[in-house]
Amino acid sequence: MLRRNFLRRLGMFAAAGILGSKLPQAQAASSATSSSSIQPGDWKALRELFPLTKDYVHLATFLLASHPKPVANAIARHRHALDENPADYWHHHFETIDHDIAAAAASYMGGSAEQIALSDSTTMGLALVYSGLKLRPGDEVLQTEHDHYSTDLSLQLRADRTGAKVRRIALYDDPFSFSEQQVVEKLSKSITDETKVVAVTWVHSSTGVKLPIRALADVIEAKNAKRDSADKIVFCVDGVHGFGIEDIDVSAMGCDFFIAGTHKWIFGPRGTGVIWGSDRGWKHCNAVIPSFSRSYDVWLGNSQQSDVPIGEHMTPGGFHSFEHRWALPEAFKLHQALGKANVQQRIHQLNSQTKEGLAAMSHVKLYTPMDTKVSSGLVCFDVKGMSPEQVVKHMHGKGIIMSATPYRNSYARFAPSLINNEAEIDRALAEIKALA
């Protein structure tokens, strides 16, 4: 159906004289390979793919990634083709390219392309899912006190519109002594008969804690086994600060929704993100923004809604920054070339080096757990006698860019990533040690 409609439209454009002679050249430019020849685990070569200034040690790139060369080149190719002949280039791609991007995402993250919707950010993804949840008056949404503002407000706005209620719980008191057993027991005891949605964040940017999603999913599955289909709990995960670090298959995590921006640890184009939903999860969610692609043909009467994969149906339509969205596959290819297991090992290595160094300093209080099973790529801490903002400002003056957690309880925060090396971590630790 997709190919037939595409060829039909292409014929219409050609008959009308719309397709210009330069379209094949633009198409070739867009499909030209730009995958890096980088070898698995070659971190020095990876660093050279980024235009990041070497005047600073960058320990906050998780906020917003610099574009590596394969991604930047793909953006430039699409931008050039769109600038040269925007109507033809868009018409030639819009019906097929979202599926191609979703397929590239699925090859990296697991699941199928049909289950993946595209967004512009984690916040947009959270809002799309939470705004579309099928909730009834009196239904309860259970979330945690460790979630980001975007989760808090998206859920509250949905509750206000539906008559549902939101209840927040703390999964732990002391992040440094966090344990899987503690959080599993806490969640199990907190779920009530009214609970219809459980919303959590995989890696807490407030403390660096990484939740055991599979273990929490097992708790929810046990509860769901005793419920009718309409009353089963939908399990939603903000996965952005584990996505691009942890070597996982999202379809095996046990959640119903996995939502993440791809312009952070994945090194994707700025303004891109993905939503993976299980078949059951998507059945409990309505579209919020009209999609284009094949859904447009349903509106025209040329196909049926059943012909449209759920991910495409849930992907917001309209005109986007296409050169960025269409370049996203290059980021997934880069990570796959490096090797997902290699990426996980490297980031954990650098973060363990950071935590061990901080833990040895008497004037530093470390909040992030030492164990890599319950932590990932963020390290949160306090320096005695200084506010987090003062630490950040001081370190910037020493040529080290870091951040503070934007939460009610704020901490200083390092985020060692693939663009860093051991010498940079040692330099950052030495500057913190000098604050004693």
Task: Quote the distance between the C-alpha of residue 145 and its chain's center.
Answer: 20
Collect all residues with Cβ–Cβ distance below 8 Å to 309 and sequence separation of at least 6. Answer: 99, 113, 114, 115, 294
Structural domain includes residue 269: yes
User: Helix %, strand %, coil % for the chain, to 5?
Assistant: 45, 15, 40
Last residue of a domain, one of 314, 336, 358: 336
Structural domain includes residue 44: no
If one compares 271 and 94, the residue with the highest pLDDT of the two is: 271
Structural domain includes residue 287: yes
Q: Which SS3 state, helix, strand or coil, does residue 78 take?
A: helix
Summarised one tens digit per residue, pLDDT across range 238-293 is 999 999 999 999 999 999 999 999 999 999 999 999 999 999 999 999 999 998 87
What is the C-alpha end-to-end distance of the chain, expressed in Å? 67
d(CA 245, CA 301): 43
Number of domains present in the structure of the chain: 2
Do 105 and 187 have their domain in common?
yes
If one compares 307 and 209, the residue with the highest pLDDT of the two is: 209
Summarised one tens digit per residue, pLDDT across range 179-196 is 999 999 999 999 999 999
Around Cβ 308, how many Cβ atoms within 10 Å?
A: 21
Structural domain includes residue 229: yes
Do 268 and 345 have their domain in common?
no
Query: DSSP characters for 220-235?
Result: HHHHHTTS-GGGPPEE
Task: Give all strands (DSSP E) within 60-207, no chain letters.
Answer: 116-119, 140-144, 165-169, 195-201
Last residue of a domain, one of 308, 336, 364: 336
Do 194 and 285 have their domain in common?
yes
Do 350 and 368 have their domain in common?
yes
Structural domain includes residue 124: yes
Contact 150, 139 (CB under 8 A): no
Last residue of a domain, one of 336, 352, 368: 336
Q: Which of 39-53, 63-77, 220-234, 298-312 has the lowest mean pLDDT?
A: 298-312
Say which CATH number the domain at 233 has.
Answer: 3.40.640.10
Do 135 and 158 have their domain in common?
yes
Summarised one tens digit per residue, pLDDT across range 348-404 is 999 999 999 999 999 999 999 999 999 999 999 999 999 999 999 999 999 999 999
Do 193 and 212 have their domain in common?
yes
Structural domain includes residue 255: yes
Say which CATH number the domain at 409 has.
Answer: 3.90.1150.10
Q: Which SS3 state, helix, strand or coil, does residue 194 take?
A: coil
Q: What confidence tier does 436 reach under pLDDT thresholds 50, 70, 90?
A: very high
Do 275 and 403 have their domain in common?
no
Do 273 and 376 have their domain in common?
no
Structural domain includes residue 51: no
Do 412 and 277 have their domain in common?
no
Contact 45, 39 (CB under 8 A): yes
d(CA 190, CA 220): 11
The parent domain of residue 390 ranges over: 339-433
Do 317 and 380 have their domain in common?
no
Do 155 and 294 have their domain in common?
yes
Q: What is the pLDDT of residue 16?
A: 40
Of 196, 136, 131, the closest CA to residue 167 belongs to 196
Mean pLDDT estimate for the chain: 91
Structural domain includes residue 135: yes
Q: What is the pLDDT of residue 30?
A: 40
